[in-house]
């Protein structure tokens, strides 16, 4: 039975790792967007129109705010995923039969749903 618990724990660990990787990909995409906007702001910095300068300052402030919030949320999400994977790993090792039962029930439920379609 220890082997089944280890397999379920490995699945939980892998799921947590994939979630973290997906979050990092999203953060990378956001960083590219911010870099593009900042490049645009640098290119229009030579224009001396007062309205453009005001909008540029507002956009720069918004970018800094969003970057900070995104970084904080990413760290929270990664830590939450890590805690969930650790808790799942502990639960599976402490209650292997329950974990196998829940996994089997979930598999049956998904199978039943897929067969109905």
- pLDDT tens digits along 17-65: 776 677 777 777 777 888 888 888 777 777 777 877 788 788 888 888 8
Tell me if 21 sits within 8 A of 85, measured CB to CB.
no
With bands split at pLDDT 50, 70 and 90, how would you rate the model's confidence at 5?
low
Residue matched to tokens 């997906």? 22
11 CB neighbour count, 10 Å cutoff? 15
Spatial separation of the C-alpha atoms in residues 101 and 92, rounded to whole Å: 11
Mean pLDDT across 96-106: 84
Closest by CA position to 93, among listed 18, 20, 2: 2
DSSP-derived secondary structure letter, 45: T
Maximum C-alpha span of the chain: 73
Query: Which pLDDT does position 9 carry in this prediction?
Result: 65
pLDDT for 16 beyond 70? no
Domain definitions of the chain by residue range: 2-116
pLDDT tens readout for residues 28-37:
777 788 888 8
Whole-number pLDDT of residue 7: 66
- For the segment 68-72, the average pLDDT, to the nearest whole number, is 83
CA–CA distance, 16 with 22 (Å, rounded to integer): 10
| Mean pLDDT taken over the chain | 79
Strand positions, DSSP E, the chain: none
């Amino acid at each position: 039975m220890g082997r089944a618990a280890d397999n379920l724990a490995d699945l939980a660990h892998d799921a947590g790792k994939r979630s973290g990787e997906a979050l990092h990909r999203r953060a990378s995409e956001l960083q590219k967007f911010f870099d593009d906007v900042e490049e645009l702001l640098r290119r229009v910095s030579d224009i001396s129109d007062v309205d453009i300068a005001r909008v540029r300052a507002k956009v720069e402030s918004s970018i800094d705010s969003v970057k900070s919030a995104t970084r904080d949320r990413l760290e929270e999400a990664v830590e939450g995923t890590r805690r969930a994977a650790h808790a799942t790993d502990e639960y599976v090792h402490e209650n292997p039969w329950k974990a196998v039962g829940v996994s089997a029930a979930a598999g049956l439920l998904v199978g039943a749903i897929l067969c109905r379609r």
